[in-house]
Structure 1
Amino acid sequence: MPISHGRFRLAMLGAALGCLATALAIRAVAPLGSWAEQSSGTALYASMTWAGVRFLGPRLGPLTAGGIALAWCWGAELFQLTGIPAALSADSLAARLVLGAAFDPVDLIWYPIGIVPLVIAHHRRGVTR
């Protein structure tokens, strides 16, 4: 039985908030600058972005949403090279959470790690919306 757009959007909102809560919880207990704190946060940011894209576009397929989420993540990371996100992040926690502050080329690898498993899981489950 197909899931309604409303229920699907609610599930994606819950997934995005769950990713955010998990990332913040890991950040609260992991040593500052540790692999767990940095890499898990990056992958969970990407997962949250994918869920956000699916929330905003419930008719998008998992692969399309994955491409949009990856483009956003990579774009935000490359935007950090300009220094603008760092300046905005100095005064705003929201800007820091959305745009980050400093470019890290390793993050470019962790974004697909956060997105690809979700795309595969939804594709295998036959979730096309």
Structure 2
Amino acid sequence: MKRDMVCIICPNSCEMTVIYDDSTLEVEGNKCLRGREFAIKEIRNPMRSICSTVRTVFEELPRISVKTDGEIPLNMTFQVMDKINNVVVDKILATGEIVLENVLGLNVNVVLTADMKYLIKGEFGV
């Protein structure tokens, strides 16, 4: 099989071609070893980070941004998103606090990317 891809690891954005089958893998077009490693990982075990939002119980802030604190297997993205979509935050949390711990046993947490006390007006707001 053959796959063309652009490396996203460094600013070179190398255009690479990967030729592979079950036992061999050849990478062409990479200017550094990191590009080769990226291509191999993308073919053999693609991983992704997720950025999304979760619901809250606060009228002033109905949704708040979250992200995974590590990468998950690409083929599990929809399962992780199902879990994220069921989260409802019911207390004031700070940036980095966990809203979903060890999602699907992947050793990855879903954490807040904003500080709620600075976003909610009134008792906690500015």
Q: Give the number of the structure whose residues are more often helix, by fraction.
A: 1
Provide TM-score, normalisation by structure 2.
0.27
Query: Greater relative contact order: 1 or 2 (C-alpha under 8 angstroms, separation 6 or more)?
Result: 1
Provide TM-score, normalisation by structure 1.
0.26
Q: Give the number of the structure whose residues are more often strand, by fraction.
A: 2
Q: Which has the larger radius of gyration?
A: 2
